A = this chain, B = another copy of it.
Amino acid sequence: MDSGHIALLTLDLLGTLAFAVNGAMTALKFARVDIVGVLTLGMVTALGGGFIRDILIDSLPPTTFMDWRYLFIAALGSLIAFFLGPRLEKLAPTITLFDAVGLSLFAVTGTLKGLTFGLGPIQSIILGVITAAGGGTIRDIMIQRIPAVLHTELYAIPAALGASLTAVIVASSLPSVPWVVFAALMCFTLRMVGVHFDLHAPKPPHHSKDT
C-alpha cells in the first residue's frame, strides 16, 4: 500500500470516526438511549450511507461491513460519545470539522464507486450524496426526528457539489487525483461556509408554514 492509499484510508477512517462520534452525540442529545442504542446509532450514522450505496450497486456484502477496521472505528467513536457524552460538547467545532471531512470523502468516494461499477454520472452523483448523507438520515429516522438533511442547513448540497465535480472530472481528461481532491475540498468548503454563515437550502416559495 503506497502512501497515497494510506493517506486516503487514514482520512476515510477519520471521517468514519467523526460520523460515529457525531451520530452518537446526536442520538444522546435527542433521545434517551442506552449503550445498545448509542452503539447502534453511531454505527448506523457512520456506515449506513455506504450500506445503502452498496445495496443499490449490488456490491454485497457492503465493503465497510466486511472490513473490521471500519466496524472497530465506528464502534469506538460511538463508545467515546457514550462515556464522555456532554464533555464532548466543547469539541463540537472539531467534530463538525471532521464530519465535514467525512461528508466530502464519502461524497467523492461514493461517486467514484458508482462510476467504477459502470453506472451513469447521474446515478453516481446520487450514490455519492446517499453515501454522505444516508447514515445520518437513518439515525434521525430511528430517533424520531425528521432527518436534518431534509429541512435544515447545507448538507446534501455540498455533497452534491462534490459528487458532481467528481463525475465531471472522471468524464473529462483531467488528471484525476489532484482534481478529485479539489472536488472534495469544494464540498468541504461549501459545507463549512454553510456552517459558519448558518446557510440553509431554499424553502418552498409559497409554503403557508413558512409565514
A interface residue numbers (CB < 8 A to B)? 28, 31-38, 40-41, 51, 55-58, 60-62, 65-66, 68, 71, 82-87, 119-120, 122-123, 126, 137, 141-147, 149-152, 155-157, 200-210
Contacts and interface: CB of A to CB of B under 8 A. Distances in A.
A144 B36 CA distance: 19
Contacts of A145: 144
Contact of A35 (B36, B123, B202, B206): B202
B150 A40 contact: yes
A65 B151 contact: no
**Interface majority SS (helix, strand, loop, mixed), chain A:** helix
Number of copies: 3
Contacts of A31: 146, 150-151
B208 A86 contact: yes
B150 A36 contact: yes
A58 to B, nearest CB: 4
B141 A201 contact: no
Contacts of A56: 51, 60-62, 65
Contact of A123 (B36, B57, B58, B65): B65
15 contacts: A31-B150, A32-B207, A32-B209, A35-B201, A37-B147, A38-B204, A40-B149, A56-B62, A58-B60, A66-B120, A71-B123, A82-B204, A87-B206, A141-B141, A144-B144
Given A65-B126, A84-B206, 9 more contacts: A28-B207, A33-B150, A34-B151, A36-B156, A37-B150, A57-B60, A61-B119, A68-B123, A87-B206
